[in-house]
Amino acid sequence: MNTDRRWFPGSPGEPSERTQLFCLPHGGGGASAYREWRDKLAGIADVVPVQPPGREGRAAEPAEWSMTALAEQLFEPLRRRAGDRPYAIFGHSMGALLGYEVTVALAAVGRPPELLVASGAPAPQLPVGTERPVHRMSEDELVGHLRELAGTPDSVLRNADLLSLLVPTVRADFAACETYVHPPHPVLDVPLLVLGGEQDTGVPPATLGPWRERTAAGCAVHTFP
């Protein structure tokens, strides 16, 4: 069996020359977050949702606690899937950091994406600044934190069976982000599009502009009300 398919669930669709858009999920999320994008972007791009280990169809696999290791695991499957076609990478929150690390690796072998879109994530070279790492919280504290973030249905947070699946993955995802230290990467020659929210207290607009330091090919920053 082609193990690359674990990373890219779903039908690849009919062959085309459209740009492939690899979509990397937020912490705790999976490829299903982009399920509707295929229809919404049909005719514009071929959306390829990415499935990291430890969730949905890969729930039996342990989630990765290291961002660098996760990027290393994704690098070859993504390069093979991209083939010779044009492609771009979109990542939200944790997915933006993963997308950046994979882009650095792909650029190093002369096959970078045509565009990297980083949504809802501070520039990678900025210090994390977490006074109390979320990944070290007790389960009750972690669930309370998820409730405050309001991104997980309350029905899930009240279900012990679902929490037993969710908490280890969320903890690993927070660890991957909170323990990340930006390596001395060369500046990219890849255009960047950075997206954020004007009222996002978790990722303040001031943390978006420094993404410009990570590329020599131009970086547009857009914030939404």
Per-residue confidence (pLDDT) for residue 154, from 0 to 100: 84
DSSP 89-128: EEEETHHHHHHHHHHHHHHHTT---S-EEEES---TTS--
Per-residue confidence (pLDDT) for residue 122, from 0 to 100: 97
What is the rounded distance in angstroms from the CA atom of residue 28 to the CA atom of residue 32?
11
What is the rounded distance in angstroms from the CA atom of residue 135 to the CA atom of residue 89?
27
Question: For residue 79, with 0-12 CB atoms within 10 Å meaning exposed, 13-18 middle and 19 or more buried, which class applies?
Answer: middle
Q: First vs last Cα of the chain: how many Å apart?
A: 46
Per-residue confidence (pLDDT) for residue 130, from 0 to 100: 66
Domain-wise residue ranges, the chain: 3-128+182-224
What is the rounded distance in angstroms from the CA atom of residue 192 to the CA atom of residue 140?
38
> Which portions of the chain are predicted below pLDDT 70?
1-2, 11-15, 129-130
By DSSP bridging, strand 192-197 and strand 20-24 are: unpaired
What is the rounded distance in angstroms from the CA atom of residue 215 to the CA atom of residue 79?
21
Residue from 64, 63, 8, 70 nearest 34 by CA: 8
User: Among all residues, which ones are annotated catalytic?
Assistant: 93
- Tell me the two tokens of residue 43: 């005719």
Per-residue confidence (pLDDT) for residue 12, from 0 to 100: 65
By DSSP bridging, strand 87-92 and strand 46-49 are: unpaired
Residue from 105, 132, 131 nearest 190 by CA: 105
3-128+182-224 folds as Rossmann fold (3.40.50)
* Count of residues in the chain: 225
Amino acid type, 78: L
